[in-house]
C-alpha cells in the first residue's frame, strides 16, 4: 500500500475541485443524513434534493416519522420506488424513538440492527453525522477504488476493496473505543476527517462515472437493475397507489374485483395482457404479509 499517500492527496484535491454543495451536507442531524442515504439508493441526486426537503417538512424529526400513520408515510414516498424502504424508514424510526430515546446510536452494530440499515448506510450515518471512521463502500467509492487500484480487472470482489477503503479513511479525533482496533490513517489536518474524505470520494466517483466507462461495473457486487416495466414489482407499486387513493378518498377499501379491474386498466393502457385474478390475489397477500396492507370485511386497505 505504498501508493496510499499519493492516492489520498489526489482524491482530496479532486474532492475540493468537484465538491457538490448538497443540502444534506449542511447538517449533522443523523435523522436527516440517514434519510438522504436511503433516498440516494438508485435515485438521482436532483430528484432526491426536492423529495428530501419535502419529507423533512412533513416528518421533521425521527419521532414525527415514528408516530405517523403508515398510509401517510407510503403516500409521502410515492414516486421514489421500492416502497419497502418507506416501511423500513418508519420501522427504524420507531425503534430509535422507543429504544434509543430518539437518538441515533454511534455504534455500527447498533445501527445495522435497525430495520433496513445495512453496512453502507450505517457507515454513512457514522461518517457524515458523527465524523467517525469506518468502511463506507457504496457505488461511487467503488468507482474510485476500482479506477485507481484495479484498472481493467474484471469482477473484483468487495473483500479486495475493503482493506483499501479502510486504509485510506482518516481517523476521526473523537473515534470511539469500539473502533480502536481498526488501523485507520491518521488525519493530516483538522479538515481531513471521515466526513470530508468520503464526500471527496463520492464527488470524485460521480465525476469519473460521467467521464469514463463506469468502473463500478467491474465490481463483483455490481448487478444490473431488473426491468421494471411490466414486472410484478410495477404491479405491486400500482396496487399500493390504488389502495392509497382509496384511503385518501375515504373509501372502506377495495374488493378483489376492484383491484383486478384497476390493474388491468393499467396493463391494457400499456399494451400488455390482462393479469389473472390469482396473480393479483398473490400480490395482495404479499402486501398484507409485508405490512403494506390489511384486510377488513373481504376488502383491502392500506395498512
- Is pTM beyond 0.95 here? no
Residue 295 β-bridge partners: 300
Range name among 131-145, 160-174, 182-196, 248-262 with the lowest pLDDT average: 182-196
- The closest alpha carbon to 150, from 221, 250, 241, belongs to 221
Residue 223 scores a pLDDT above 70: no
Q: Which domains does the chain possess?
A: 4-218 (1.10.340.30), 232-302 (1.10.10)
Return the pLDDT at 172. 40
Return the pLDDT at 27. 98
Between CA 272 and CA 67 the distance in angstroms is 40
Which tens digit of pLDDT belongs to each residue from 244-260?
999 999 999 999 999 99
CA trace torsion 234, 274, 267, 303 (10° rounding) = -50
Beta-carbon-side half-sphere exposure of residue 196 (alpha carbons within 13 Å):
17
Residue 182 scores a pLDDT above 60: no
Return the pLDDT at 217. 73
Using 50, 70 and 90 to split pLDDT, how confident is the model at 204? very high
Helix axis angle, 158-168 to 139-149, nearest 10°:
90
Query: If you average pLDDT over every residue of the chain, what do you get?
Result: 91
Return the pLDDT at 57. 98
- What secondary structure does DSSP assign to 57-82, as a single string? HHS-SHHHHHHS-HHHHHHHHTTSS-
Range name among 60-69, 122-131, 172-181, 212-221 with the lowest pLDDT average: 172-181
Which tens digit of pLDDT belongs to each residue from 117-135?
999 999 999 999 999 999 9
Three-class SS state of 299: strand
Three-class SS state of 33: helix
Which tens digit of pLDDT belongs to each residue from 48-97?
999 999 999 999 999 999 999 999 999 999 999 899 999 999 999 999 99
Q: Going by C-beta distance under 8 Å and a sequence separation of 6 or more, which residues neighbour residue 137?
A: 119, 120, 123, 158, 161, 162, 165
Long-range (24+ apart) CB contacts under 8 A made by 149-152 are 149/7, 150/218
- The closest alpha carbon to 208, from 218, 223, 193, belongs to 218
Return the pLDDT at 100. 97
Using 50, 70 and 90 to split pLDDT, how confident is the model at 154? confident
Q: Using alpha carbons, list the distances in angstroms from residue 166 to 55, 93, 136, 301.
A: 33, 29, 8, 47
Q: Which residues are catalytic?
A: 37
Amino acid at each position: 500500500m505504498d501508493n496510499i499517500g499519493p492516492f489520498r492527496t489526489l482524491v482530496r484535491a479532486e474532492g475540493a475541485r468537484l465538491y457538490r454543495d448538497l443540502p444534506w451536507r449542511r447538517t449533522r442531524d443523523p435523522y436527516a443524513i440517514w434519510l438522504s442515504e436511503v433516498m440516494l439508493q438508485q435515485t438521482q441526486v436532483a430528484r432526491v434534493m426536492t423529495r428530501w426537503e419535502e419529507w423533512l417538512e412533513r416528518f421533521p424529526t425521527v419521532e414525527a416519522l415514528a408516530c405517523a400513520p403508515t398510509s401517510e408515510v407510503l403516500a409521502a414516498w410515492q414516486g421514489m420506488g421500492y416502497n419497502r424502504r418507506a416501511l423500513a424508514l418508519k420501522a427504524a424510526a420507531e425503534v430509535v424513538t422507543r429504544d434509543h430515546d430518539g437518538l441515533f446510536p454511534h455504534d455500527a452494530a447498533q445501527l445495522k440492527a435497525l430495520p433496513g440499515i445495512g453496512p453502507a448506510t450505517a457507515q454513512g450515518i457514522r461518517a457524515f453525522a458523527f465524523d467517525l471512521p469506518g468502511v463506507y463502500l457504496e457505488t461511487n467509492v467503488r468507482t474510485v477504488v476500482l479506477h485507481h487500484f484495479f484498472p481493467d480487472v474484471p469482477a473484483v470482489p468487495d473483500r479486495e476493496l475493503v482493506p483499501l477503503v479502510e486504509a485510506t479513511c482518516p481517523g476521526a479525533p473523537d473515534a470511539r473505543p469500539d473502533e480502536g482496533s481498526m488501523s485507520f490513517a491518521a488525519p493530516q489536518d483538522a479538515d481531513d476527517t471521515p466526513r470530508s474524505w468520503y464526500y471527496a470520494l463520492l464527488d470524485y466517483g460521480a465525476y469519473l462515472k460521467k467521464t469514463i466507462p463506469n468502473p463500478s461495473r467491474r465490481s463483483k457486487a455490481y448487478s444490473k437493475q431488473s426491468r421494471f416495466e411490466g414486472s410484478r414489482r410495477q404491479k405491486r407499486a400500482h396496487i399500493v397507489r390504488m389502495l392509497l387513493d382509496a384511503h385518501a378518498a375515504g373509501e372502506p377499501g377495495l374488493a378483489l374485483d376492484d383491484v383486478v379491474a384497476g390493474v388491468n386498466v393499467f396493463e391494457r393502457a400499456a399494451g400488455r395482457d390482462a393479469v389473472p385474478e390469482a396473480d393479483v390475489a398473490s400480490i395482495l397477500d404479499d402486501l398484507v404479509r409485508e405490512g403494506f396492507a390489511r384486510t377488513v370485511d373481504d376488502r383491502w386497505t392500506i395498512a
